[in-house]
Amino acid sequence: MVWVQLAIVIPELATRLRGVHVDLSRAKGFESGISTDLGQFFGETQRHWLVNVDDDNSLQGTQLRAAITEHGLPWFEKARTEDGLIDILRNDPSMDALEVRAILYSDRGDFDGVQSMLGEIVARRPDLDSHVREWAAERKLFRSNAL
């Protein structure tokens, strides 16, 4: 089976998000918190394309190419701008997406947006309240820090 994960790695963002240095030559897609499974465009958590060893797989290849062309490439194009990236993350329910949006809002000086994202994290996981406060303070999210 083949799954297609779309991801963008922005080293500066990964450092702020996770506190680690990212070498682009060895980067993993999840490190910046900006990723999705191609299947989400089909309303599925994960979409796979079955590859059979004893088959020519031409139908699966055609479907996969169409999915990448129609959904994957436009996703990457949209993510090239900060507004597009925020819009993509707005549709991502993950905690990583909330944290990345908090960082991006901080860089814009939108501290209400930062507070909203952090508040959503704590609303989902009240046990993380002190951790979220420390995480935000360490990353200076309530002061403007351009990426």
Q: Is 57 exposed, middle or buried (0-12, 13-18, 19+ CB in 10 A)?
A: middle
Q: What is the pLDDT of residue 110?
A: 96
Q: What is the pLDDT of residue 37?
A: 84
pTM of the model: 0.81
**Bridge partner residues of 7 (DSSP):** 35
Q: Domain boundaries in the chain?
A: 1-80, 82-147
The set of residues, in sequence order, having a beta carbon less than 8 Å from that of 60 and lying 6+ positions away, is: 2, 49, 50, 51
* DSSP summary character for residue 94: S
**Bridge partner residues of 37 (DSSP):** 5
List per-block mean pLDDT (blocks of 10 residues) for the chain, which spans 147 residues: 83 90 86 86 67 75 88 94 94 92 95 97 96 94 65
